[in-house]
Amino acid sequence: MVNLCDNGMIFGVSCGEYRRDGTMAEYVAVPERILHKLPIKVTFEEAALIEPLSIAVHAMFVSPLKMGDKAVIIGAGTIGLMLLQTVRQAGATQIIVLDLDEHKLELARKLGATETLSLKGEEAVETIWKLTDARGVDIAFEAVGVQPTFDTAVQAVRKGGCVVMVGNVSKTVQLPLQKCVMQEISLISSCASAGEYAVCLDMINAGCVQLGCLISKVAPLKEGGEWFDRLHAAEKGLIKVVLQP
C-alpha cells in the first residue's frame, strides 16, 4: 500500500503534504527503484500519461467489478476517460458516462461508452435507471468529487451496488446514510495508485487503451506556465497537454 505511506512524497506535486520539487525541468535525478523501462511501442507522449492511467487502473483493481457488470462513470476528464477504457477491458458490458462537456462525451463514445449523458441531478439518475431497466448500475465510479456528482453516484447504483470514490475536489460531502445502509451500498475509496505502472505499460504496449486522442497539445517546456493557466481556466477542448524539454 505504497500509496498510503506516512512519509510519501510525489515528484511535481505542489500541495505541502506530498510536495517534492522537480519534473518540470530538462533533467531530473530520481531513485532507480521508481524507474520503468518503456516498451518499444510506447511513445514518450503516451508515457507521460501513465500516472493518470495508473489512477484509473488502481480504481478498477480496488473495485468489485466483474465481467458483465453495468457501470456508470461520472466525469469524463482525463481519468474518467481512462476509467472508461479500463472498465471496458475488465469486462463491463454497459458503460454509461456522464459529463456536461459535449467534446468529452464525444470522446467517450469513440472510446467505447455504450451511452453518454449530458445531464445532472435527478434527471441523470432517472435516465440511468431507464437505461438499466429500472435496476440501477452495479458500480459507479465517481471521478469528480463534489456533492452533486457524489449524490448521483449513490442514487444510480442498484441495491447491493458499489460506489468507487476517485475524485476529491471537495474536502467533505454529505452521505445519504439511510439509503446506503438500507440498500447495503458499498463505498470504496481509491487513492492515487499503488504499483500499477507496469500493468499500465503493458496495456499501452498491447493497444488495450488509446491515449493519443486524450492529448490536446504537445508543447515545449518553456510554454508550461501558459498551458497550466489555460488548463486551469478549463479552456474548451483541452483535456491534457504534454510538455517536452
More confident residue, 238 or 30: 30
- Last residue of some domain: 172, 189, 206? 189
Find out whether 235 and 227 touch, Cβ atoms under 8 Å: no
Task: Look at residue 182 in the predicted model and tell me its pLDDT.
Answer: 97
Q: Are residues 143 and 217 in the same domain?
A: no
Q: What confidence category does residue 25 fall into, taking pLDDT thresholds of 50, 70 and 90?
A: confident
Angstrom distance (rounded) from CA 45 to CA 179: 44
Task: Give the 3-state secondary structure of residue 19.
Answer: strand
Q: Are residues 80 and 15 in the same domain?
A: no
Q: Are residues 135 and 201 in the same domain?
A: no
Residue 57 lies in a domain: no
Cell 468489485 belongs to 64
Angstrom distance (rounded) from CA 239 to CA 227: 11
- Compute the residue count for the chain: 245
Q: Are residues 177 and 80 in the same domain?
A: yes
Q: Are residues 198 and 180 in the same domain?
A: no
Lowest mean pLDDT among 15-29, 154-168, 184-198, 216-230: 15-29
- For the entire predicted model, the pTM comes to 0.93
Angstrom distance (rounded) from CA 63 to CA 187: 10
Residue 58 lies in a domain: no
Q: Which residue segment(s) compose the domain that 224 sits in?
A: 2-51+194-244
Best CA proximity match to 136, nearest among 163, 116, 114, 156: 156
- Last residue of some domain: 148, 172, 189? 189
* Dihedral over Cα of 99, 101, 107, 110: its sign: positive
Question: Would you state the torsion angle of the CA atoms of residues 215, 216, 218, 219, taken in this order, to the nearest 10 degrees?
Answer: -140
Helix or strand holding residue 163 (H, E): strand 157-165
Angstrom distance (rounded) from CA 3 to CA 6: 9
Count of the separate structural domains present in the chain = 2
Residue 24 lies in a domain: yes
Residue 59 lies in a domain: no
- Last residue of some domain: 148, 170, 189? 189
Q: Are residues 84 and 118 in the same domain?
A: yes
| CATH number of the domain bearing residue 115 | 3.40.50.720
Q: Are residues 35 and 77 in the same domain?
A: no
Residue 56 lies in a domain: no
Best CA proximity match to 73, nearest among 177, 149, 184: 149
Supply the angle between the helices 50-62 and 78-89 in degrees, to the nearest 10: 50
pLDDT digits (tens, 9 = 90+) for 91-123: 999 999 999 999 999 999 999 999 999 999 999
Residue 70: pLDDT over 80? yes
Residue 23 lies in a domain: yes
Strand ranges for 61-136 from DSSP E: 70-74, 94-98, 115-117
Q: Are residues 178 and 70 in the same domain?
A: yes
Residue 16 lies in a domain: yes
**Measured CA distances, 125 to 38, 69, 163, 173 (Å):** 42, 18, 14, 18
Q: Tell me what the mean pLDDT of segment 65-92 comes to.
A: 97
Q: Are residues 124 and 179 in the same domain?
A: yes
| CATH number of the domain bearing residue 240 | 3.90.180.10
pLDDT digits (tens, 9 = 90+) for 163-210: 999 999 999 999 999 999 999 999 999 999 999 999 999 999 999 999
Q: Taking all residues of the chain, what is their mean pLDDT, rounded to a whole number?
A: 93
Q: Are residues 135 and 233 in the same domain?
A: no
Q: Are residues 71 and 184 in the same domain?
A: yes
Q: Are residues 127 and 182 in the same domain?
A: yes
